[in-house]
Amino acid sequence: MLSFCLATQPVWCRVMERHPTARAVAFADDGFVHDDLLKALLACADIKTVTKEDSGLDLQLLKCTVYIKGHTIQEDRRKVRDCIESDEALHGLRNLLHESGNPADDPIQVDGIKCVGIPVGTDQYTSTFVYNKVLSVAQDVQKLSIMSDPLVHLHLLKYCQNTRFGYLNRILPPP
């Protein structure tokens, strides 16, 4: 993982120098760009092109998410489509317009996104995310009931399950 980060970090740095208003964070194979819609899309298109040219890696747009808050999904799809169609430099991002049939899996989102395991978005999105995380951990904890050694059981709870909530508690604002 460290080798991958060391290989891709110079690419991100070079690209972001060409986009002075954009802010970006990248770790491993996750990257986030923040700017006005058109400028963010231009930065993403640049990252896609340069990553392919320099590293032979292809940015998988179906795994990318464009989060635009404050509008309806239809308005935001139209905005992204208009940007992509009006600028030739963005034509390589057409897969962002893909609709999967499950709105939660679509590349364009208006309620929120998950960034490095943390929900970013509306209060409802964040609440639903945390609720689903609690259910997931509760199901995992029930699976641990087959452990016959209480010390192993305790260690799995303490160092595996408990850390998931600790991470959320450190990052999310209080309700």
Give Cα separations from 76 to 66, 99, 130 (angstroms). 9, 13, 26
How is residue 19 written in tokens? 């986009």
Write down the pTM of the prediction. Answer: 0.77
Pairing of strands 30-34, 23-27: antiparallel
DSSP 95: G
Each of the 175 residues of the chain gets a pLDDT tens digit; together they read 778 877 888 888 999 999 999 998 887 778 889 999 999 999 999 999 998 998 888 888 878 888 998 889 899 999 999 999 999 999 999 988 888 888 888 889 999 988 878 899 999 999 999 999 999 999 998 998 888 999 998 998 889 888 888 889 898 988 7
Every domain of the chain and the residues it spans: 2-110, 121-171
**CA 23 – CA 2 distance, rounded (Å):** 22
DSSP 14: H
